[in-house]
């Protein structure tokens, strides 16, 4: 079972933080991951910490959706 599946079983409502080697925007699938968590754990708060090197206006808009 996936980690998200395990968290769903316990109705997790804490924080999920994305780091991916300290730069989560290197992950081309980050938007899909965020959407998956939002769908399955809507009560969670999701955080991204980035230095902004890979942040563009288009990426920001994509992440905001």
Q: Which tops the pLDDT comparison, 65 or 10? A: 10
* pLDDT of amino acid 34: 95
* H/E element, 8: helix 3-9
Determine the pLDDT at residue 14: 97
How is residue 49 written in tokens? 């910490």
Tell me: the pLDDT tens digits for 7-63?
Answer: 999 999 999 999 877 789 999 999 999 999 999 999 999 999 998 889 999 999 999
| The pLDDT value given to residue 19 | 84
Euclidean distance between CA atoms 11 and 44, whole angstroms: 9
The rounded distance, in Å, linking the Cα atoms of 27 and 33 is 10
């Amino acid at each position: 079972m996936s980690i998200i599946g395990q968290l769903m079983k316990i109705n997790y409502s804490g924080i999920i933080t994305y780091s991916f080697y300290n730069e989560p925007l290197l992950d081309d699938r980050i938007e899909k991951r965020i959407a998956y968590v939002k769908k399955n754990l809507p009560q969670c708060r999701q955080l991204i910490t980035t230095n902004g090197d890979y942040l563009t206006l288009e990426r920001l808009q994509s992440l905001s959706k």
